[in-house]
Each structure stands twice: as structure tokens, then as C-alpha cells.
Amino acid sequence: MKTAFLFPGQGSQSVGMGKDLYERFRERVDPFYKRANQALGFDLKELIFSGSEDRLKLTEFAQPAILLDSLIKFELLGQKPDYAAGHSLGEYSALVAAVVLTLEDALVLVNKRGKYMQEAVPVGQGGMVALMRIEYEKVREICAQTGAEIANYNSPQQIVISGTRDAVLAAKKLAEENKGAGIELSVSAPFHSSLMKPAEERLKADIAKATFSHPAFPVISTVSGEPETDSVKIKELLMKQITAQVRWTDYVLKLKSFGVVNCVEVGPGDVLTKLGKRIDKDLEFLTFLQVRQ
């Protein structure tokens, strides 16, 4: 039976995450925090363990915090999966787990990624809405009418749209008129939309400077939707990731087609576990805590 490790994205963070593991496995875990603090030039451990929720949810801090927590949990699992996939930011975590990127390079990249994404659109001008109880094709029609864009195909029951706040709210209204439901998300920028192009262009130069190695196991690319094994191609695809649609449902079904039976969420929270159970009931989805028990 094949296993895939799934790495979560932004929104999974919470103050205090990983503190219990730090206290139980300090000798194994502390070096990760020391490496992170040195790479980033600020005390990420202090922010994660004792900071405010408002500060931790800022994109530039949330992204390295989630990546670090995910990689610590990967280390503690002590297993190599057959495949890996990451939800948006989570792709970077997957690439570190697969030794494509070093922990230090990935932390610096996602810290910059967060800054660039936040700076691409003034706060309040962009938005994201999760749509439920509405078909994918209908969402495409609504987006064509309003100028909103599909950002995440999270499950057959949840599609997230992104764009200007006016566009996504207009799309939400149309979805509700078509018996769907919509929830405006508490995010600081319209992620995975064309409005993120300036951030994508800025990050390209940083990605170009980083060293990419061939993966220890295949990692699903957000852009291609395929398990990639060539370091040059992985690097090229990652440069296009910020504006790419996250087709999470397709990635999970792709893993199933390769014989994956067990999917383990490696990181804070259980968002991907919950989504997975809505995508395919034949696959088994487990969180890190369920596997460690």
C-alpha cells in the first residue's frame, strides 16, 4: 500500500503549535528552531509559541511558521512517503521533505513570498470567497461574468475564488442566487489570482538563486498537477506557482491513480484531512497526531 504525505498551506497556523512536541522531543526539535532563527534573522520560535494570533497570521510570518512546523513533524514521523503534495505554501514544505530545497533556503523563500504577496495588492482591495453547494462549471460561468478567478478547487463541495473584493462579492451574490452558499475568507490578499503577478515576478529572481536537488520522492506540482522528479523542471514550475490555481481535488485523485491508499497530513491542523474525506471515501486520511498515537 502506497502512502502520500500532504503538507498544509496558510490558515493552518495557531499560536502555540508544536510547543508540546518541543517539550517532549527538545533535543531533536530545538535545532530546527535555531536554524530557522538564524536563516530568517528573527525569533520565529518566540513568535510561534508566545506571539499574538494577529501577528502570526501575517503572511510573511505565517508561511515560514507553517513550513517549520510541518518539517519538524516530518522529522518526527521518520518515514519516507511514496509521494508528497502540498497545498499552495505546502508545496515548499514537501520540497524540503524530499530534499529538493534546504530548510534554510525554503524558509527565506516563503518569508519573501509572503511579503511579496502582501505588497502586490493594497490591503482591503483584494478578497477571497469560499463557495459551497455549486458546481465547478457554474463557478466558471460566474467568474467569467464578474472578473473573479478560481483560486482553489479544494473539494467537490468547496471552490475558493479570488480577485478584487468587488469581483468576489459580486460572484458570491450570483452563487447565492443559484442556490449556492458563500463565505468571505479572512485573508490579507487575493491569493492564486492574476493580481499576484507582481509577487510572482519578484519571487522568480529569488527562486532562480536557490539550489534545487533531485527529489528523494515525487512531489505533485501545483502548476502541472503531476508528480515531478526533475529538479530543473520543479524550479521552473515553482516560479509560476503564486498565480496558479490550486487544483487540490485533482491532486488527491491523481495520487489515488498511482496506487496511494493512505494520506497523512504533515503539519498543523487537519484541514487537508477534512477536505480529503470529502474528495474520496476510498482513501484513508490521517493527521500527524493520529499517526503518532
* DSSP string across 183-238: EE---SS-TTSGGGHHHHHHHHHHHHHS-----SS-EE-TTT-SEE--HHHHHHHH
Q: Which helix (H) or strand (E) holds 155?
A: strand 149-155
**Alpha helical stretches, state H, 78-196:** 90-97, 103-120, 136-146, 165-177
Q: Give Cβ neighbours of residue 97 (< 8 Å, ≥ 6 apart).
A: 5, 7, 70, 71, 74, 84, 266
Residue in 88, 162, 193, 221 annotated catalytic:
88
Tell me how long the chain is: 293
Residue 239 has which C-alpha cell?
516560479
Residue in 93, 155, 188, 192 annotated catalytic:
192
Catalytic annotation on 192?
Answer: yes
Catalytic annotation on 88?
Answer: yes
Active-site positions read 88, 192
